[in-house]
Amino acid sequence: MAIWNLGSINVDHVYRVPHLPAPGETLAALSYATGLGGKGANQSVAAARAGARVCHIGAVGAEGGWALRKLGALGVDLAHVAEVAPATGHAIINVDPLAENAIVIYAGANVALTEGQMIGAMALSAETDTVLLQNETNLQVETAREARARGLRVIYSAAPFSIAAVQAVLSLVSLLVMNEGEASALVAALGQPLDALPVAGVIVTKGSRGAEWISAGTETLLQPSFAVTPVDTTGAGDCFIGSLAAALDRGDGRAAAMRYAAAAAALQVTRPGAADAMPTRAEVEAFLATQP
Cα 263 to Cα 210: distance, rounded to the nearest angstrom: 10
Dihedral class, residue 159 (left if φ above 0, else alpha if ψ from -120 to 50, else beta): beta
CA 136, chain centre distance (Å): 10
Nearest to 233 by CA among 37, 44, 88, 69: 37
Task: Residue 5: name the closest of 84, 79, 105 by CA.
Answer: 79
Q: How far is CA 262 from CA 130, 133, 220, in A?
A: 20, 20, 16
Sheet of 218-223, strands arranged across: 77-83, 54-60, 3-6, 130-133, 153-157, 175-179, 201-205, 211-215, 218-223
**Bridge partners (DSSP) listed for residue 131:** 4, 154
Q: From CA 264, how far away is CA 84, in angstroms rounded? A: 33
236 in Cβ contact with 268 (< 8 Å): yes
Contact 36, 58 (CB under 8 A): no
- Dihedral (CA of 47, 49, 55, 57) sign: positive
The catalytic site residues sit at: 238
